[in-house]
C-alpha cells in the first residue's frame, strides 16, 4: 500500500516544518482519500482523526472501519465532490464504534477539496472535518429551552387573556349595575338622563319628534303601609314588566325614583305619546292591578335641558292626580 500513495505527499509534509506542525497538531480531523474506482481509501490521516476512530485506518476503505450506513453516506459526499470537481462543504451526523469498541457519535462540519494529478484528473480528496457536536448539542438545548419558554408564554398568555376576559365581564357587570335599577331591572335615573340627553341632541340636530311620558302609582303608600314593602316591591316589578312589553327597541324606560317611572319615545309626536300613555294605563291596570297617574311632554326647540321636559310631564302627573285626567 505504501507504494500506492501519492508521490511526495508525506515527504512534502515531512520536509516542511510548518506543514508538519499543522498536520500533527491541528485540532480537527484532516485526511486524504485516494480514489480507487467507485471507492475511496484512506491515504493519510492526522493524529486527531486517528484519535477519533481509535485505530490505524491508513490503507483502509471507510467500509472497513465504519458502519455500512455511515460509510455509504460519507462516500456519497466524496462522489459528489468528484462529480462537481470543486470544494464541497456539508454537515453530517455519524454514530460508530471506534477501534476500542466504544460507542462514538457526533456532528462534523466537513470541507472536501478535490486534488488533481498531473493529467488534471481527480486522484484524491482532501478533507477537514470540524467537530461541531457541542455546538449542535447547545443548539438543541437552546431549541428545547425556546420551546419550553414558548409553552410558558402560551400558558401565561392564555391566563392573561382569561383574566382580561373576566375583568371585561366584571366591568360590563359593573356598568350594568351602575345603569340598572336593582329591583325592577329597568334603567335607573343616571342611565335615563344620559340617554335622554343624547336623544334630545339628535332631535335638535335633525328636527325629529321626541316625547316623554312620566307616571307614578296611585295609592302606592297605602300598599306599603297595609301590605308591607315586599308587596310594594312586587307591584313595582309587575308595573315595570307590563310597560316593557309595550316598548320599542329604541325607547328609553327607567325608574326615576320611588314609584315614579319615566319613558322617552324617540321619533314620536306628543299626540302619539298620549295614545301610548293610554295603552300603558290600561295594561298596567290589567296586569299589575294598580292605577297610574301619567303625564306627557313633547320636545320643544327651547328645551335646552332634560329637566324642562320632565317638569312639564310632572306637572301633568300632578294635574292627573287632582282631576284623574291628563291636562
Inter-helix orientation angle 189-206/306-323, to 10°: 110
Residue 115 and residue 78 in contact, taking contact as beta carbons nearer than 8 Å? no
- Residue 183 in 3-state DSSP? coil
What CA–CA distance (Å, rounded) separates 306 from 72?
A: 92
| Catalytic positions | 259
Element (H, E) at 4: none
Q: Distance between CA atoms of 118 and 8, rounded to whole angstroms?
A: 13
Q: Is 19 strand, coil or helix? A: helix
**Residues 1/59, Cβ–Cβ less than 8 Å:** yes
Beta bridge partners of 125: 33, 114
Name residue 298's beta-bridge partners: 211
Half-sphere exposure in the Cβ direction for 134 (13 Å, CA) = 2
- Whole-number Å distance between alpha carbons of 179 and 185: 10
Q: Give SS3 for 31.
A: strand
Query: Residue 250 is placed in which grid cell?
Result: 329604541
For 18, half-sphere exposure in the C-beta direction (CA atoms, 13 angstrom radius) is: 0
Amino acid at each position: 500500500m505504501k507504494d500506492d500513495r501519492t508521490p511526495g505527499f508525506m515527504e512534502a509534509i515531512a520536509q516542511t516544518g510548518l506543514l508538519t506542525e499543522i498536520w500533527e497538531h491541528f485540532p480537527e480531523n484532516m485526511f486524504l482519500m485516494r480514489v480507487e474506482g467507485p471507492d475511496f481509501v484512506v491515504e493519510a490521516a492526522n493524529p486527531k482523526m486517528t484519535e477519533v476512530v481509535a485505530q490505524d485506518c491508513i490503507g483502509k476503505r471507510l467500509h472497513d472501519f465504519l458502519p455500512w450506513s455511515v460509510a455509504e453516506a460519507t462516500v456519497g459526499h466524496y462522489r459528489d465532490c468528484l462529480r462537481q470537481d470543486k470544494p464541497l462543504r456539508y454537515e453530517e451526523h455519524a454514530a460508530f464504534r471506534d477501534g476500542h469498541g466504544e460507542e462514538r457519535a457526533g456532528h462534523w462540519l466537513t470541507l472536501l477539496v478535490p486534488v488533481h494529478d498531473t493529467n488534471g484528473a481527480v486522484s484524491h480528496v482532501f478533507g477537514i472535518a470540524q467537530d461541531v457536536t457541542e455546538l449542535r448539542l447547545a443548539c438543541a438545548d437552546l431549541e428545547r429551552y425556546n420551546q419550553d419558554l414558548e409553552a410558558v408564554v402560551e400558558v401565561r398568555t392564555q391566563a392573561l387573556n382569561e383574566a382580561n376576559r373576566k375583568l371585561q365581564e366584571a366591568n360590563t357587570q359593573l356598568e350594568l349595575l351602575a345603569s340598572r335599577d336593582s329591583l325592577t331591572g329597568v334603567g335607573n335615573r343616571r342611565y335615563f338622563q344620559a340617554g335622554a340627553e343624547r336623544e334630545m341632541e339628535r332631535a335638535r340636530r335633525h328636527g325629529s319628534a321626541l316625547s316623554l311620558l312620566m307616571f307614578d302609582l296611585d295609592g302606592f303608600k297605602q300598599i306599603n303601609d297595609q301590605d308591607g314593602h315586599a308587596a310594594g316591591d312586587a307591584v313595582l316589578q309587575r308595573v315595570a314588566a307590563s310597560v316593557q312589553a309595550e316598548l320599542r327597541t329604541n325607547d328609553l324606560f327607567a325608574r326615576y325614583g320611588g314609584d315614579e317611572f319615566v319613558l322617552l319615545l324617540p321619533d314620536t309626536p306628543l299626540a302619539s305619546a298620549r295614545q301610548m300613555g293610554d295603552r300603558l294605563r290600561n295594561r298596567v291596570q290589567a296586569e299589575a292591578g294598580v292605577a297610574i297617574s301619567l303625564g306627557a311632554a313633547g320636545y320643544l326647540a327651547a328645551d335646552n335641558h332634560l329637566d324642562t321636559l320632565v317638569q312639564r310631564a310632572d306637572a301633568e302627573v300632578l294635574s292627573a292626580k287632582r282631576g284623574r285626567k291628563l291636562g
